[in-house]
Amino acid sequence: MNRNIITVPIHRVEPGSNASEQDLVAVEEPLQIRVGERDVAITMRTPGQDRELAAGFLFTEGLIQNAGQIVDIVSDDRGAVTVTLAEGVEVSIADRNFYVTSSCGVCGRASIDGLRAACPALPRGIPRVLARVISTLPDILRNSQPVFDHTGGLHAAALFDTDGKLTAVREDVGRHNAVDKLIGAAFLEGRIPLHNSILMLSGRISFELAQKALMAGIPMVAAVGAPSSLAIETALHFGMTLIGFVRGQRYNVYSGQERLLQ
């Protein structure tokens, strides 16, 4: 059984004391994602939900389009997950370079031009969400992070409905892995596109996270941290509502203000 938390010895230094103790830390281990006999990617992740992670990765990177293209997903105890596709389904990875660390996101197609052909259009003007709902999301997310409570070392991504009700949450040492696990679960359940969902992130909003939200049809992305310049440019181009620095009753809206109701 995969463990997502381990105990390690530490020396805790405090004023007037230097004691030997045990501490809990989040596990980071490599996962090899394979399609049939072909290696597609290596990602550094927190063990758990590996099937969702693989499906979410393949979908958000535009390699597959629907869950019906997948026959089976099998994970093993050696840090590999193998996706078997339906007969006749081909994925083109010859020009892709996937080595994914827990912090950098997917290296490769990193431009808005690369998204135009792959991403479906977001619905304009919907959903509509009361502005005060956004302020409630960080606390709900934080209270739904069981591994973070023990380690303080994981990112989280969550889906909320338009009333601010939590519908799903995933944690991982890599922020992009948390999003892939979240979207992968919805993808395998046939719930894509997520046009009536809000994606809430525990950290910053980078381009690759905006990309993954677009692939899943998520029209609203909020985070406790800052968006990057390319994430903002992407949101403006595709009509996504992008919200950063959600802290208390304050937050910044970088695009898509029309979806928020006062």
Of 71, 104, 121, 261, the active-site residue reads: 104
Cβ partners under 8 Å of residue 173, min gap 6: 26, 27, 28, 44, 45, 46, 102, 153, 154, 155
Cβ partners under 8 Å of residue 252, min gap 6: 243, 244, 245
> What six digits make up the tokens of 224?
């406790």
Provide the residue type at 171 as one letter: E
Q: How far is CA 199 from CA 77, 149, 218, 219, in A?
A: 31, 21, 7, 8
Cα separation, 187 vs 191, whole angstroms? 6
State the Cα angle at 85 between 84 and 88, rounded to 5°: 140
Left (φ > 0), alpha (ψ -120 to 50) or beta: where does 233 sit? alpha
Burial degree of 3 (CB within 10 A; 0-12, 13-18, 19+): exposed
Of 167, 30, 63, nearest to 157 (Cα)?
Answer: 167
Residue 119 known to be catalytic: no
Block residue for tokens 């792959």: 118
- State how far Cα 231 lies from the chain centre: 14
- In eight-state DSSP terms, residue 63 is S
Provide the annotated active-site residues: 104
